[in-house]
A = this chain, B = another copy of it.
Amino acid sequence: MKAAVIGATGYGGAELIRLLQQHPEATLHSFHSSSKEGESIEASYPHLQTVSGMALEAIDPEKIASETDVVFTATPSGVSSELVPELIDAGNRVIDLSGDFRLKDPKLYEQWYNKKAPDETVLQNAVYGLTEWLEADATEAQLISNPGCYPTAALLGLAPLMKQNIANPDSIIIDAKTGVSGAGKKATPVTHFTEMNDNLKIYKVFAHQHTPEIEQVLSGWNSQTGPITFSTHLVPMTRGIMTTIYAQGPDGMTAKELTDLYQESYNDSYFVRVREQGTYPSTKEVYGSNFCDLSVALDERTNRIMIVSVIDNLVKGASGQAVQNMNRMFDIEETAGLGFAPVYP
């Protein structure tokens, strides 16, 4: 299977190169950039020296379609919305890592992204790629819309609870913390080392564009879901997301029953590891890997359920899940190229 990556010079693109380079069945055929055509990838990423000898190519949808089986678009929001329909028209199968094809309601997209929504037909045909809970046959999909990093962590954490209708959706509060790579490769005053080192920041208060994405999926699982509270913090680390999720529990359920439910729910999911009751994951325990580690706890004093989920935002939260979706799309083993252990410490 041959793959192309568009937008190879962002962190998502660089991570796709790392992952595809070690994939047993996919070949990284070409990578493309609208601004750096002709440059070597090593000029942007010296760590990829010798790993790939190729130069960045221009974006020619028909050429890409004729030469490859799948294309990953790791392009920014607002770029994918234009580019992906062209790729689809040219016959490509696409896995899109931007946020452009996640929100089914174009008005919500325009409100939270402040950009023009993509073509309606392409949008409605996009399969939302939370791989463990896919709601369509990926092998048939022409476009998979890869979930956001925060939604991946939060939704994997909430799925068993919501699908079993255990917690009151109105009570959900998601306190999320991310490493700084979530803010992308572009240097900004907020992410300047001296400003971020030894510092903890809260940002985009009640305005993060992943809010409606989480709500859309939760509503699909439980139609009672209204707006939820979602907050986001920047932690002085490179990779990793932790979501600490609070929800009012039902009476009469024990912590053990909750953990059992989670373990059963993910029994067949290689990439979701539910921890033993009373132990909790830290972000570094999934560093560089496609795992999502989960714990669920019950505060008996307040009858609140707390779910802790961690992922590597660039792997399970982006490029790793994209490769996992590619595996599903082409009906190969879900873990192909992704089964490696986290890098620890």
Q: Which residues from chain A sit less than 8 Å from chain B, CB to CB?
A: 11, 14, 17-18, 21-22, 45-51, 170, 173, 175, 177, 179-181, 183, 185-189, 191-203, 205-206, 226-229, 231, 233, 235-240, 242, 244, 246, 270, 273, 275, 278-289, 293, 297, 299-302, 304, 306, 308, 310, 339-345
CB-based contact A197/B175 at 8 Å: no
Q: List 27 A-B contacts (CB under 8 A).
A: A14-B344, A18-B340, A50-B273, A51-B341, A180-B193, A181-B194, A185-B194, A187-B188, A187-B192, A193-B196, A197-B197, A197-B236, A197-B238, A197-B345, A198-B237, A199-B284, A200-B283, A202-B308, A205-B280, A206-B297, A206-B301, A229-B246, A229-B299, A229-B306, A235-B236, A236-B237, A343-B343
CB-based contact B192/A242 at 8 Å: no
Assembly CA distance A79 to B317 (angstroms): 42
Option from B49, B175, B183 in Cβ contact (under 8 Å) with A273: B49
User: Which of A46, A200, A227, A302 has the most chain B CB atoms inside 10 A of its CB?
Assistant: A200
Assembly CA distance A237 to B21 (angstroms): 27
CB-based contact B185/A187 at 8 Å: no
Residues of chain B lying within 8 A (CB to CB) of residue A21 = 340-341
CB-based contact B229/A304 at 8 Å: yes
Assembly CA distance A226 to B300 (angstroms): 13
A233 in contact with B199 given A46-B279, A47-B285, A341-B17 (CB within 8 Å): no
CB-based contact A47/B286 at 8 Å: yes
A302 in contact with B229 given A175-B244, A193-B180, A238-B197 (CB within 8 Å): yes
A236 in contact with B233 given A50-B273, A191-B192, A193-B196 (CB within 8 Å): no
CB-based contact A345/B236 at 8 Å: no
Assembly CA distance A227 to B304 (angstroms): 11
Assembly CA distance A231 to B243 (angstroms): 12
Question: How distant is A18 from chain B, measured CB to nearest CB, in Å?
Answer: 4
Residues of chain B lying within 8 A (CB to CB) of residue A189 = 187
CB-based contact B193/A197 at 8 Å: yes
Option from B14, B50, B237, B280 in Cβ contact (under 8 Å) with A197: B237
Give the 5 A-B CB pairs with smallest separation, nearest first.
A199-B284, A227-B301, A187-B192, A47-B285, A175-B175
